[in-house]
Chains A and B, each alone.
Chain A
């Protein structure tokens, strides 16, 4: 059904509703269709300098020697920024007043120990990009290559290279639980440690199956052994899902300048409030001294939710050069610094009853994290699979491994998408083997009403407050004329035609919606989601859940 065929339910959303169920052009649309809408790169400030970045040519290395004097002496070059010019990252305070201490091992805007190819090492501001690029070439810099790993399995092997000097996984120390009535303490700062599997673990690889060594996290619900024992069909599949760049059409181009002690930053963001807080932390400044300008954003898909740390480069360069600085990011640079969905390697063993009901599900995932802050995709994938396929018994095991690849970030349905991609393939295969209809096998497994979700925590499981997937399948099958289509012959001359059933969920409804208004001392009520719109108009797909 195309959007033009959809008509709002006027009976349900009658005259007393001004917006819901009504057709109206959004106020931003006129500016966009006439080309007047200004994205970050569309602003011009008198005396604006341009900035170019020197990117790491190695996957992991250390700057051994650096001399910028020749570049600084070039006509038109105004300032050079290195790691030494960055302020120390500040601690942050949550809405509950809990201090989250800055992690010295966290990502920096510029670094002298790059952890991935393409990581920004230094930045040059000059009168134009050509001069800035020439100056980058004039910089005398030498890197000491260090061991690197771009595949999680390489670093998990016994004696395998570590992507960071300190190791290959984040270790989160045990949190001290507060006593009733006490304010929660600051969580301990995670550190990087080493996780290696054994040679015995890797024997599986010789048989084309994913080795499964010690996992960092694990949970179980139900009797897994009984579920497999009573299954009519058991599938054990090794899988790989791709790393996919966010690839926002608007690159992370940023303009910054200072006026009367305040810094003005023009950038794209999915949430002005969250990005302002990030800038304050990265610049170690009071948020009241930062003016964030983000009139329009050319796509985010999760990668611009809390801003991007590289936005402070033109801000600091501008202060150093005493002039506005525009940092245009090229498409190639965007591939390096623009975040990506983490790819999984994993193994899924699923037991099905004759009617297609999943009796047992054993899920094992390795998440390729990149070198910096841990993404939650591995964990979420297990939660979403447990929600959408409602296995009678389930075990989830996950390990998030650091690698010398571009940093990952949340991308539309983070974790859930990977889990669903894996499961949909297996469910389809099971339907073929059991002789079941592709829609029916999904209907018999999907959540309904107050279906449970995820692991048991503190003795209870979370559950949906409502789920209507069965109705969605019925309506979808009816509109698609599913039964009629699959009854048609698949082969016609040289053409082979097939029909496919697939569903997807965005893990937004679980915890985002109820936090959309937040209270903060000294602030008016703020919408913590902010202008969370670019590229994310898929709220209708959520399954409301309760935490």
Chain B
């Protein structure tokens, strides 16, 4: 992760609220697509509808400047997974409920399935692929998972880890219940919460030891 990259003030979009998300979709012109509405397949978001052009933008992803063509209604999860090859970010529900798609935007956890890509220009996007150092040294929270053998199927894992990393940046010494509260936006269907919390608490400990925060 490279903190030295400069962010141009005029590129920063203020907040990515539900209101802004919907406004953005409307601007894209396909929110009322009867296909998406009828079938409720929000997964159709992000693919080029007939007659709507793409727009080349630059994103700061995992410390790198990435040029990518996006349509206006494209979600960040789609861009990351299908355009930038960053498939570590998972789509579990595609409707802001499960948290499997969580990434950090300027160090804050967001559901990338519910963030429009064009609203995050200028923000620092961090995904699970960008956590470890270039030499392969794992982030302390990733190492916490290894140490405690957290998770089972792990489809939710990258979302949990990103939420924990975001939370621990501002709460470096949480109690177990505080961390549980901090991770309450993420679901684990394997119901492995006890071990996940243990792993994340170990991650917090690792972070403190490494003076990561």
1/0 per position for B150-188, CB-CB distance to A under 8 A?
011111111001000000000000000000000000011
Those of B76-133 within 8 Å (CB) of chain A: 81, 85-95, 97-98, 100, 127-129, 131-132
Give chain A residues whose Cβ lies under 8 Å from the Cβ of B129.
Answer: 34-36
Cα separation A128 to B50 with both chains bound (whole Å)? 10
* One of A162-170, A292-300, A514-522 at the interface: A292-300
Tell me, yes or no, whether A533 is within 8 Å of chain B by CB. yes
Cα separation A533 to B151 with both chains bound (whole Å)? 12
**Contacting residue for A30 out of B146, B149, B156, B189, CB 8 A:** B146
Cα separation A330 to B35 with both chains bound (whole Å)? 14
Give chain B residues whose Cβ lies under 8 Å from the Cβ of A247.
Answer: 189
Tell me, yes or no, whether B53 is within 8 Å of chain A by CB. no
1/0 per position for B6-44, CB-CB distance to A under 8 A?
000000000000000000000000000111101111111
**Contacting residue for B88 out of A26, A36, A330, CB 8 A:** A36
B31 to chain A, nearest CB (A): 13
Cα separation A307 to B157 with both chains bound (whole Å)? 23
Given contacts A3-B195, A535-B190, contact A25 B146 (CB under 8 A): yes
Give chain B residues whose Cβ lies under 8 Å from the Cβ of A298.
Answer: 90, 92, 153-155
Total inter-chain residue pairs, C-beta < 8 Å: 154
Those of A250-303 within 8 Å (CB) of chain B: 250-251, 296-301
Q: Is the CB of B149 within 8 A of A3?
A: yes
Cα separation A41 to B161 with both chains bound (whole Å)? 20
Q: Is the CB of A3 within 8 A of B148?
A: yes
Cα separation A281 to B179 with both chains bound (whole Å)? 48
Cα separation A131 to B88 with both chains bound (whole Å)? 26
Give chain B residues whose Cβ lies under 8 Å from the Cβ of A39.
Answer: 90, 155
Those of A520-536 within 8 Å (CB) of chain B: 533-536
Tell me, yes or no, whether B72 is within 8 Å of chain A by CB. no
Those of B175-213 within 8 Å (CB) of chain A: 187-190, 194-195, 198, 202
Tell me, yes or no, whether B138 is within 8 Å of chain A by CB. yes
Given contacts A298-B153, A535-B152, contact A136 B35 (CB under 8 A): yes
Cα separation A25 to B199 with both chains bound (whole Å)? 13
B171 to chain A, nearest CB (A): 20
1/0 per position for A26-46, CB-CB distance to B under 8 A?
101110111111110110100
**Contacting residue for A331 out of B88, B93, B151, CB 8 A:** B93
**Contacting residue for B142 out of A34, A76, A330, A331, CB 8 A:** A34
Given contacts A131-B50, A133-B36, A137-B35, contact A248 B189 (CB under 8 A): yes
Cα separation A75 to B50 with both chains bound (whole Å)? 9
Give chain B residues whose Cβ lies under 8 Å from the Cβ of A129.
Answer: 41, 43-44, 47
Give chain B residues whose Cβ lies under 8 Å from the Cβ of A249.
Answer: 90, 92, 98, 100, 153, 155-156, 187-189
Cα separation A536 to B189 with both chains bound (whole Å)? 11
**Contacting residue for A130 out of B47, B95, B131, B148, CB 8 A:** B47
Tell me, yes or no, whether A84 is within 8 Å of chain B by CB. no
Q: Is the CB of B39 within 8 A of A136?
A: yes
Cα separation A535 to B154 with both chains bound (whole Å)? 9
Query: How many residues does chain A have at the interface if contact means C-beta atoms less than 8 Å apart?
Result: 54
Tell me, yes or no, whether A494 is within 8 Å of chain B by CB. no
Cα separation A25 to B142 with both chains bound (whole Å)? 12
Tell me, yes or no, whether A207 is within 8 Å of chain B by CB. no
Nearest chain A residue, comparing its CB with the CB of B191: A535
Given contacts A3-B148, A30-B146, contact A37 B41 (CB under 8 A): no
Q: Is the CB of B152 within 8 A of A250?
A: no
Q: Is the CB of A3 within 8 A of B198?
A: yes
Q: Is the CB of B138 within 8 A of A34?
A: yes
Tell me, yes or no, whether A408 is within 8 Å of chain B by CB. no
Given contacts A247-B189, A249-B92, A332-B40, contact A38 B87 (CB under 8 A): yes
Tell me, yes or no, whether B48 is within 8 Å of chain A by CB. yes
Q: Is the CB of B189 within 8 A of A33?
A: no
Cα separation A428 to B93 with both chains bound (whole Å)? 38
Q: Is the CB of A535 within 8 A of B149?
A: no
Those of B58-90 within 8 Å (CB) of chain A: 81, 85-90
Cα separation A50 to B129 with both chains bound (whole Å)? 26
A476 to chain B, nearest CB (A): 16
Q: Is the CB of A35 within 8 A of B152?
A: no
**Contacting residue for B49 out of A23, A130, A331, CB 8 A:** A130
Give chain A residues whose Cβ lies under 8 Å from the Cβ of B146.
Answer: 25, 29-30, 33
Tell me, yes or no, whether A194 is within 8 Å of chain B by CB. no
Q: Is the CB of B40 within 8 A of A35?
A: no
Give chain B residues whose Cβ lies under 8 Å from the Cβ of A26.
Answer: 149
Cα separation A537 to B149 with both chains bound (whole Å)? 12
Cα separation A29 to B152 with both chains bound (whole Å)? 9
Cα separation A76 to B49 with both chains bound (whole Å)? 11
Given contacts A33-B142, A34-B129, A249-B189, contact A2 B41 (CB under 8 A): no
**Contacting residue for A133 out of B39, B100, B149, B194, CB 8 A:** B39
Tell me, yes or no, whether A134 is within 8 Å of chain B by CB. yes
Q: Is the CB of A534 within 8 A of B149?
A: no
**Contacting residue for A299 out of B34, B44, B138, B189, CB 8 A:** B189
| Given A34-B138, A41-B91, 4 further pairs, Cβ under 8 A | A26-B149, A36-B88, A134-B35, A134-B50
24 A/B residue pairs, CB under 8 Å, sorted by A: A3-B195, A4-B148, A28-B154, A33-B128, A33-B138, A36-B88, A38-B87, A39-B90, A41-B87, A41-B91, A55-B39, A75-B50, A76-B50, A130-B33, A130-B48, A130-B49, A134-B35, A136-B39, A137-B34, A249-B100, A249-B188, A330-B39, A330-B43, A534-B190
Q: Which residues of B contact A (CB under 8 A)?
A: 33-36, 38-44, 47-50, 81, 85-95, 97-98, 100, 127-129, 131-132, 138, 142, 145-146, 148-149, 151-158, 161, 187-190, 194-195, 198, 202
